[in-house]
Amino acid sequence: MKKLPLKKDFTPSRRTIAENLANELREKLKEHIAILMPKLYEALGWETPNFEEEEEWAICTGDLENPIYIKVVVDNSYLDVEDTCYEDMEVAEIISALDGDVVVRNEDGDEWTSADLTLDELVNIAKVLEESYWKMSK
């Protein structure tokens, strides 16, 4: 079989150590959130979701000690500017999905997965869940 010549500008994609560390941290935060959700259910006195009917761990942020905010891109086309504009949006619900992902929703039902969230936002979600659990379990 004849090999095709590589393009001169071809560079293989390779992750840096920093990117690998960030991905590892993202996975560990998702795991930590998945551990906290059943504990919060127990502290709140709620029944375990029916996983056979594909229910997931879901907690309204109104049941938590502090609100959670994420930064979202807002439509700024009416401003006629090229900069990306962000707005803090309050999270209404946190879901620990059956596939291990973390999903957040706002009051309008818009969803963001852990891939859409920054590490800081995931840390804040885990922090609020943890603080809420410790206060509720006293």
Structural domain spans, the chain: 17-136
The beta strand positions in the chain, using DSSP E, are 57-60, 69-74, 85-90, 93-96, 102-105, 111-113
**pLDDT of 71-86, one tens digit each?**
998 877 666 666 778 8
- 119 is written with which tokens? 């590490």
- 65 is written with which tokens? 């000690």
Average pLDDT, the chain: 88
Mean pLDDT on 110-121: 95
Residue 65's Cβ-count burial label (10 Å; 0-12, 13-18, 19+) is middle
In Å, what is the CA distance from 112 to each residue of 15, 17, 115?
Answer: 24, 26, 8
Instruction: Return the minimum-mean-pLDDT range out of 1-5, 50-54, 107-111, 117-121.
Output: 1-5
The pLDDT, as a whole number, for residue 8 is 58
Residue 106 has pLDDT above 70, yes or no: yes
**pLDDT of 11-45, one tens digit each?**
556 778 899 999 999 999 999 999 999 999 999 99
* Model confidence band, residue 137 (pLDDT cutoffs 50, 70, 90): confident
- 109 is written with which tokens? 């039902």
Contact 100, 90 (CB under 8 A): no
